[in-house]
Structure 1
Amino acid sequence: MTEPDWTAPDEASNLRDMDDANRMEYMIARIEAKLHDYTAYDFPMDQVRALNIFFDLAQEVRGRSMFYAICMAIPRLLLNIESSIYILEDEETFVLAGCSTGTCDLDSTRTWDHEFSNQPILSNDHLFIPIQSNPEYNDMLPFEPPHNILGMFEMFPCGSLTKHNRLFLEKFINRIGFQLHHRIIRAKNREHLNFIKSLVQDIGHNVIVPNMYFKLYFNRLKRQIEQLHLTTSDILARMNECGTQDCTTHGNRLARITTGIEAQYQEIYSHYETTSMFLETLLRRRHFEEGRYVLDKREVNLSQAVMVPLLERFRQRFEERGIEVDFSLGGAPDQVIRLVMDRGLISQVFDNLFSNALKYTETATLPDGRRGKFISYGWKIIKDYYAPGSPGIRMWVASTGDPLELKNSMEVFKPGFRADNVTHQSGSGRGLYFVRQVVELHNGQVGYSHTDNSNQFYLILPFEQE
């Protein structure tokens, strides 16, 4: 059997790693090799034109049945050969997909046998040629096709077929395989998109709307806590009238319990608000409809709307790991900053940066001689950063620890990347890639820098105000 016309997976992977100059040289060499091959094939003009017509018509028609009709019409027109097409439905079963005669008296299903194999077979005047897949894209199919085969093309009568015409048919069916493979992938992608559209509606109905009811429950709980405070105050007043130490002790204990319940309520409610914002932002319907993150930009108070809620969210976890928020590494200025941005997505950017600081902050000595684990955050307006009259704002999170081992500072923002010296901590390598995606959607940029005792992750956004 002739070799498939496409590139093997390992070679394709190497091509992706080439620079532009080497890639161009490779493609020129491949074109020259193809020109040599086609010269050697010496196909007559009608067969060359038939291949071109096949590609033209395959782009024009929609639907698998019409595509199969084109595939079967070429052999009938050129060589007066009838044909049928079987498609592999699973690893073992071929299903009849079409016949050029219109009425099929063939078996509706076949399995691997002496005729349905991974090589062209001539049997009882019938020629069986396997339809090859493109191995590089096999992972996008519903299952891994055995022998890289998508189906079988059966043709008859072929007993007197010349060697030259058989070569043409093999090359032609190779091209069918390429087109069919992509049609299967496209069909699968359409199914995937339809599922996502349905999922988005289900998310809105079954997740977002029910989540909103929690706010009602929190409001009811808040009123109950207020009533508890009033009742506690009344009981304390009565216990003071009691005058005994036992009454005072019990009264103070009740007051502490009431205060503790309210503190727990405030902490849980704060986490609920942040989590709800993240949930509604990430599952925003337009993200799924447009296939990308879609910004909902509004003017917000950077400190009060983003930083303070997030720091409260991480406060207890920082304390548990002995991490202090200290501005010796550089800190937030006192002025109020109002900035136009997508609050939900930028909040998740800083949530990722604080989460990384929680995992990777290490003990170090500060310039003033103190030793411990420290983080800081801040921002600075950069005049004329984007253009005269168009300032930027640089925001950062810094934490103590050894510098990351990187060949290039932007490596850390690639999907799945993790520096060698932080693999002892769990992580997916997706967080900083998400940070980069969101910042670049805001027409900003990200970066990483380090000093002798700290690592700093920063983002620069256009300083937009309403």
Structure 2
Amino acid sequence: MNDAKKSADVYSIKTKDALGVGVHLISEVGPEELLIIQRRVHEKMDDYKGYSFSTVEKRALMIFFDLAQEFDKLEEFFTVCTSVPKVLFGVDCRLYIAIGKDEFVPVGGTEAKSPICTSVPLEKEFKGGHLFIPIRGNHDLIGQLDFKPSGDVIGCFEIYNFNDLSDHQSLFFEKFVNRIGFQLHSKLLRRKGQEHLEFVRNLVKDVGHNVIVPNMYFKLFYNRLRDRIENIQKLSDELDSKSSGEIKNELNTLYAGLVSQFNEIHSHYEQTSLFLETLLRRRHFEEGRYIVEKRPCNLLKQIIEPQLERYKSRFEERGIRIDMSMGGVPDREVRIVADVGLISQVYANLFSNAVKYTREVVLHNGSHDKFTAYGWDHLKKFFENGWDGLKLNVFTSGPPLSLEDSEKLFQAGFRCENTGSEYGSGHGLFFVRQVVELHGGKVGYESGERGNNFYFILPFGPE
């Protein structure tokens, strides 16, 4: 038996598969790799002997390792990183995370109101009683982050309130921060993977809610189209028994119906294609989140009217009047830069809800009305940065929602008490909130005397 075979036998592990049948897993580590690893073990033994860490310092490393495994949430891990030096050595510290190339934000610290460093060094530095130690990620895994950090630095650890810093203390804290780096990079990648998976799950719901369910109407369109084609065939069979005038009138009626049906199907096809192209962009899957592609647009012509046209026949079927009393959206290039596909789906969700939940109300004069309305309001300096807001409203007549329901409207999976037998997944308004917040806006609800106003506010910035 040769040496390689002996090495493989040493690493042969007997286990059981799902059926309970014994199987062998052979390690792929060969004799050369085995020698390298064993040599590194001895080198680390010599290193730690040379470090001469005290009992408290060794205990700090062990406690940090144990707690880093125990506390699973990233925010809890940040607190563990700063709490261990504080409790065991009485020093204050702060953890910074890179959010872009050479851009860092504090994510945890032992003092809430202490000054925060605005410029984090990329190399170890001791200045004015503050020790800064960069946190470097795994070079082979850096490409999995959302950006390429300078020098593979994914964060920085600041320790302060030192009167003096010995070489031994500097070495210990450097080794401590090295352990933070390994755990931090692993946890960041894990969170990114979880967020990516959650995005895909939500995307499946978005496609189902905004594309697959509306596509059921294609069946209705084609059934109506088939009926009109059959009417043409019947008319052909009756040619001998009808006058030319009667035939001409019926042909005109059939022609007008076919043209109307064609336009409805074509409009539905265009919007379905837009939604699919928007939801299934390649970058969404690569980034694990919606990537907003903004451009200037005519809000009325490019977004609202196409969606209103899609739902027009359904409003008519349910006897819902379209009211313009809230003030129509201007027919011009408004100062909104938006993702046309995503904002179109926001209106599609709001109009779809309006079809399902608009109810009849009694007006002051005793007459009955059943209507939905859309419009806009210009809000001066609405956002914190001083930008104006464009408040876009979709109002439905009917009884106001309860306070409890109104507070949960935009949560995932929530459906109001008044939904009755109407089909719904509770995902539409959650999708609205997601898209609007991606645009830097806000969503909201207002109850009124005659019904309910669902609105969203988008930044309405300078030219």
TM-score (normalised: structure 2): 0.49
